Every structure is written in structure tokens, then in C-alpha cells.
Amino acid sequence: MRRKTLQIPIGNILIGSEYPIIIQSMTNTLTSDIQSTVNQCIRLFDADAKLVRITARNLKEAECLKLIKNDLINMGYELPIAADIHFNPHLAKVAANYVEKIRINPGNFVNLFPNNKSYTNEQYKLEVDAIKNEIEKLLPILVANKVAVRIGVNKGSLSQRLIDKFGNTTEALVESAIENVKIFNKLNFNNIVISIKTSSVYETIAANRLLVSKLDKLGLYYPIHLGVTEAGIDKEGIIKSSVAIGNLLLDGIGDTIRVSLTGDPVKEISVAETIIKTYQKFLPLPPMPTYSYTLENAPKIFTINDLTTEHLDLNNLFIDLPKNRPFDFIANKLKTVEQVNIKIDIDKFDLYELSIILGRGWIDGWLKDVYLVCDNLKNEKVNDVYQILQVTGKKKLLTEVISCPSCGRTMFDIESITRQVKKRFSIYPGLTLAVMGCIVNGPGEMREAQAGIVGNGINKADIYVFGRVVAKNIPVDKVVDEFEKQLKIHNLI
């Protein structure tokens, strides 16, 4: 059952448990290119996005939001737009005059002790007070313009203050969100949506489950926005999003979603729609166990080829997964055993169904091995199942390539570079590489990666290894070669 929330007005739509799940997206045009941004908003609205977010990196871009909004209204598009603001509270105040929603992380509005690795109690309190002060200054503009706020916490932009207190953990992410929510709530401002996103499917699920349990205990029933940052391109992005978003929706968590895929954002909308349709097929979800996460005893995937090897009688070890009500069937089996091995006729299930069912099983620990039945071992769904296992983090089979969806900050062809990186470095299990659009958020957001390419200027990029810049201002047509060189120098490949 969907978690009960407040209903939050965002312009002419409402977000909350009494309304359908809202699909949103974000432009990746240069915000100051008004015509392109308006056109992309229109394509997104026509594709059925109900809310479009636009980055505002500086005052000029924040002012452009006014022109973009006016153009959209003049062309008959009255659905809301949101401004994406990082670090600069002044930009939030400007943007709040023009848009229906702002996405901020007030925790990043102040950094009183930039050189601190650790904080005294007094410093901690001073910084929280300073955040409150910034929110108080923003509030009259929000109220006057009826603007809603998304408190958006991302793993990559978690403040050092919270990392010092809670470690670089799921708890720190949740605390960051709740700290801000409490400030707004105490100031009697309740037009709030909350999100916690990371590039890890497992952590995104864990963080949102923890967030909701804490919010509900505090009586703070704000809607939740779901997404996975840097989900990547093509199927990998679809699988990551389906496992994380699909399963949180199955938990009853989530009132608005964004699927972040690198490339044209319009592609995201149909993926989001399919995730929603797919999870709804599995409702109501029967009670299912959740076991603590461990990499020991990693799951295995078998195909017909394995009949002659270690598992001679796979048919007896695996239970057939029915197409109809698969979770009810599994839940029934789990009444007598802790884990199940399942046999799946993969032609009967689509990618989204496989991602949600197998992803949930591996994330929550009740699924062990899987036997894939198919006529043709070249069936691409066999690879998809390996990919699902990989994104749950239960087994590292391939190189993981994370890439941001790109936005107005991206000044190079990120989709092409991501494809090249995926192709050239695909065979290193345990290695995580990143391709990020900009140096503003890229380095922080790719903390999980050992190395990455980060856009820095028009058609230029920097290369990072273990969080440090090792090569700067490389023309993008040479950056993948240079990346390979650096990966070798640092013994990563």
C-alpha cells in the first residue's frame, strides 16, 4: 500500500499519495539557450512529463527561468517547472520568483569551516544555525510565490559535517535530509518533497526505506521523490532504475520519480511509465523477509550449459517461477526456507519484470541462485540477468560505468564518451568508472568510482583517479586514450 503523505501543490499539479505518481525529468540544454530549453521542455511535456527541472548555475541562468516560463505559458504549456540550485542560496531566491518548485540541498548553502575534517559540537551547531538562517531568508519568497521545495540530498554532495558525525553512510544521507526537513517544518513551511539519491541501487533503496521510517516516526508525512543518480546509459540505466525505483514503489514509497538516463531526457519518460506499470502488476505485495546485506556466498546464475558441470540436477534444486503473481508464490515458499533458488523461463518475463523480481530478491537476500531457461543462450536477456545481479552489488561481474544524465552544465558529448568507456574497459570486475558532465557536481557524485572523466569547459575534460585530478583540460577526442593511460599508470587495469 502506498505510504500516506501530505498532498503538495506544485503549480497546477499535486504530488502526494492521493494522486498518481508524477513522472518528471530534467533538461540538458544550456539554460541560457532559451529556445532550446523551451523546446526540450515542450518535448518532455508532450512525452507526458508532468514536471521539468532546469539547472540554474548562475544569476544569468536563474533570470533565464523567467523567459523560459513565459515562453512556455505563451505556447500553452502550463505544467510546472523546477529550478535546480546548488550551493548558492541567492540563486534560489531569484529562481523562486519564476518557477513553481526549487530543488535545493540547504545543507550545501553554508560551509563555515571549509578546511574542517572534523567538527566540534559548537561548530556543528553553528553550521546548522547558519543553514536555518539561510532558509529563513528564503522562506518569504517561497510563501509569496507559492513555490514548493524539494530537499534533494545526493551522496556526492553530502557535507563534511555530516560525514564527520555519521561517516560516509546511509545514516548520514538520511540525517542530512531530516535536518533540513525539521528546519522547514519548525518554520511552518510544509510544501516539501524529499529525495535521497545515490548511484548505488542498494544504498538508494536502503536510504529511502530508512528515511521513510524516520519521517513517519516523527510525524513528517512529506512525499518522496525517487531516482538513482548517474544510472548510466541504455539498459544499464534502465535496469538500475527499475530495480531501485520499482522496488521502492513496491514498498509503497515514492510519489514522483525521475529515471536519469544519459542522453536525450525524453527517453526517460517511457522508461518511467513502464516502471510504474510494471510495479503495479505486482500489487499487493505479500510480506517478504529482508536479510542483512552481505557479499559472502554470492549468488550464481546458471543456464542449460551448466547441466553438465557442477549442478547436474538443476531441475530439483530450483523452483519454477510462475508468471502470474510471482511474489505471492515466492513468499509462500519463504514461509519454510530462508532463501530460494528459482528457475525462470526468461522469455515469459520482460526486462522490467526481471529487474524488479530478481533485483528485490538479491537486494533483500531471499534469492540465491537463478537458473535461466531459454532456447537460445545468445538471448540478450541472459546478459540482462547478469547485469541485474551486478547492479544489486551482490556480485561484481563487469566494470561498472556510472554516468550522469547531463544537464545545462554539460559541455561535451557525454553519451558518446560513456559508450566509448563502456566498450573499452568493460572487462574489469570490481572496477567502477565514471563519466560526469561537470566539475561542479561530478567529482562529488562519483565518489564511488575509482576513476572518472569529468567535463571541464567546452569539449574539455579532466581525469580523476581516487578523487584526485591526474590530467587536466584534455580535449574530449583524446580523453579516452588518456584515461586508459592513467588507469594503467595507477594499476587499475
Calpha distance 412→417 (Å, rounded): 9
Give least dist CB 454 to ligand SF4, A.
Answer: 8
Query: Applying CB under 6 A, which part among 114-122, 200-208, 441-449, 470-478 lies near ligand SF4?
Result: 441-449
Query: Applying CB under 6 A, which part among 283-291, 310-318, 384-392, 405-413 lies near ligand SF4?
Result: 405-413
Calpha distance 103→149 (Å, rounded): 6
CB under 8 A, 24+ apart: contacts of 459-464? 459/411, 459/412, 460/411, 460/412, 461/412, 461/417, 464/434
Confirm or reject binding of residue 437 to ligand SF4 (CB under 6 A): yes
Residue 251 burial (CB < 10 Å; 0-12/13-18/19+)?
Answer: middle
The residue ranges of DSSP E strands in 258-334, in sequence order, are 301-302, 319-320
Alpha-helix runs per DSSP H in 58-196: 59-74, 89-95, 121-145, 160-166, 170-186
Query: In 3-state terms, what secondary structure has residue 480?
Result: helix
Q: Fill in the amino acid letter for 58.
A: N
Binding to ligand SF4, residues 123-142 (CB under 6 A): none
Residue from 103, 409, 419, 422 binding ligand SF4 (CB under 6 A): 409
Of 405, 8, 424, 3, which Cα lies nearest the Cα of 208?
A: 3
Confirm or reject binding of residue 406 to ligand SF4 (CB under 6 A): yes
Query: Applying CB under 6 A, which part among 34-42, 142-150, 353-361, 436-444 lies near ligand SF4?
Result: 436-444
C-alpha cell at 265: 531526457
Give least dist CB 54 to ligand SF4, A.
Answer: 11
Residue from 440, 471, 474, 487 binding ligand SF4 (CB under 6 A): 440
Residue given cell 574497459 in the structure block: 425
Q: CB nearer to ligand SF4: give 278 or 406.
A: 406
Residue from 176, 180, 387, 410 binding ligand SF4 (CB under 6 A): 410
Give least dist CB 436 to ligand SF4, A.
Answer: 5
Do 391 and 359 touch, CB atoms closer than 8 A?
Answer: yes
Residue from 44, 131, 436, 449 binding ligand SF4 (CB under 6 A): 436
C-alpha cell at 21: 505518481
Query: Applying CB under 6 A, which part among 1-9, 287-295, 374-382, 432-440 lies near ligand SF4?
Result: 432-440
Query: Applying CB under 6 A, which part among 344-352, 373-381, 431-439, 461-469 lies near ligand SF4?
Result: 431-439
Helices (H) and strands (E) in the chain, counts: 17, 19
Chain centroid, CA 442 distance in Å: 14
Query: Applying CB under 6 A, which part among 196-204, 251-259, 351-359, 440-448 lies near ligand SF4?
Result: 440-448
Q: CB nearer to ligand SF4: give 173 or 367.
A: 173
Q: Fill in the amino acid letter for 393.
A: G
Calpha distance 17→144 (Å, rounded): 26
Residue from 207, 220, 404, 431 binding ligand SF4 (CB under 6 A): 404
Confirm or reject binding of residue 356 to ligand SF4 (CB under 6 A): no
C-alpha cell at 353: 519484470
Count Cβ atoms below 10 Å from residue 128 Cβ, excluding itself.
17
Burial 393-406 (b: 16+ CB within 10 A, else e): bbbbebbbbbbbbb
Query: Applying CB under 6 A, which part among 185-193, 232-240, 357-365, 404-412 lies near ligand SF4?
Result: 404-412
Q: CB nearer to ligand SF4: give 127 or 203.
A: 203
The residue ranges of DSSP E strands in 310-389, in sequence order, are 319-320, 340-345, 367-373
Q: CB nearer to ligand SF4: give 138 or 404.
A: 404
Binding to ligand SF4, residues 31-90 (CB under 6 A): none
C-alpha cell at 310: 557442477
Q: Fill in the amino acid letter for 344.
A: I
Q: Please state whether beta strands 13-15 and 8-10 pair in parallel, antiparallel, or not at all (unpaired).
A: antiparallel
Residue from 255, 442, 463, 476 binding ligand SF4 (CB under 6 A): 442
Q: CB nearer to ligand SF4: give 138 or 414.
A: 414
Residue from 193, 257, 407, 476 binding ligand SF4 (CB under 6 A): 407
Q: CB nearer to ligand SF4: give 240 or 409.
A: 409
Give least dist CB 156 to ligand SF4, A.
Answer: 8
Confirm or reject binding of residue 198 to ligand SF4 (CB under 6 A): no
Give least dist CB 273 to ligand SF4, A.
Answer: 22
Residues that bind ligand SF4 (CB under 6 A): 404-407, 409-410, 436-438, 440-442, 445
